[in-house]
Amino acid sequence: MLNNRVYLGEAVHKGSSYPGEHKAIIDREVWDKVHGILTESPRKRAAQTRADTPALLRGLLYGPNGAAFSPTHTRKGGRLYRYYVSQTVLKHGAGSCPIGRVPAGEIEAAVIAQLRAVFRQPEIVAGTWKAARSQDDEITEADARDALTRIDPLWDELFPAEQARIVALLVERVDIGTDGLNVRLRMDGLAALAREMNTNVEAAA
């Protein structure tokens, strides 16, 4: 629909467009704006949208003392810098927690990398299948494997809001410490995602 020049009031014949006899439904300014967006790569569009809709790990990130981390940001020289800050630091000041603040982009990328690695691990697939079968005995291990392996190549094409929904579905908690981070998964969330992916494929077939 977004490439149909009929909406511009044009007629198309053998790949060429000509002024039509009908009125345009979409004006040229809107058409050009839409196609300016479409010419950008999906990854670039996603990155821009992500900057407008931050905090992928809101409510999921905790520090070494168990305190939650909250998203925050600052602007310098026209650039947006996003962080997660420990509630301990917000209440008691700098130095009250061994990890007071972490760059949002880095911690989010690390969590996403772990999630994408999960999608490729056979033992995780087997666990997902067992959890899914408790709610839907028609799901096979192959269904669970196919659902999870389909997500990985699609991840960069997803809108940030959809990525955030999947993270919230799959991640129970992220604990960050001086020696790294631990991502605790929701097995029921993996099972739900597998069912959802397979339902979408069946609907498209």
Q: pLDDT at position 124, please?
A: 73
- Mean pLDDT, rounded, for 79-106: 86
Confidence of residue 12 (pLDDT cuts 50, 70, 90): confident
Q: What is the reported pTM?
A: 0.63
Q: pLDDT at position 175, please?
A: 93
Looking up tokens 């079968």 gives 133
Q: pLDDT at position 51, please?
A: 52
Give the H/E segment covering residue 70. strand 69-76
Instruction: Please tell me what DSSP assigns to residue 23.
Output: P
More confident residue, 138 or 87: 87
Task: Express each pLDDT in 157-173 by its tens digit.
Answer: 887 788 888 888 889 99
Task: Express each pLDDT in 30-58 by its tens digit.
Answer: 777 776 766 666 655 555 555 555 588 98
Least confident of 9-13, 79-83, 113-117, 166-170: 9-13
- Mean pLDDT, rounded, for 101-130: 82
Residues 137, 143, 146: CA angle, nearest 5 degrees: 165
Q: Could you tell me where the DSSP H helices lie in 27-94?
A: 28-38, 42-52, 87-92
Confidence of residue 178 (pLDDT cuts 50, 70, 90): confident
Cα torsion for 134, 139, 141, 146, to the nearest 10°? -130
Task: Express each pLDDT in 186-202 by its tens digit.
Answer: 877 777 777 777 665 55
Q: pLDDT at position 139, please?
A: 66
Q: How many CA atoms are closer than 13 Å to the CA of 15, on its beta-carbon side?
A: 0
More confident residue, 15 or 88: 88
Looking up tokens 């899914």 gives 132
Are 33 and 39 a contacting pair, CB within 8 Å? no
Confidence of residue 1 (pLDDT cuts 50, 70, 90): low
Backbone Cα Rg of the chain: 22
Whether 60 has a pLDDT exceeding 60, the answer reads: yes
**Average pLDDT taken over every residue of the chain:** 77
Q: How far apart are CA 39 and CA 18, in angstroms?
A: 23
Are 9 and 23 a contacting pair, CB within 8 Å? yes
Partners of 34 in the β-ladder: none
Q: How far apart are CA 130 and CA 124, in angstroms?
A: 10
Whether 18 has a pLDDT exceeding 80, the answer reads: no
More confident residue, 5 or 2: 5
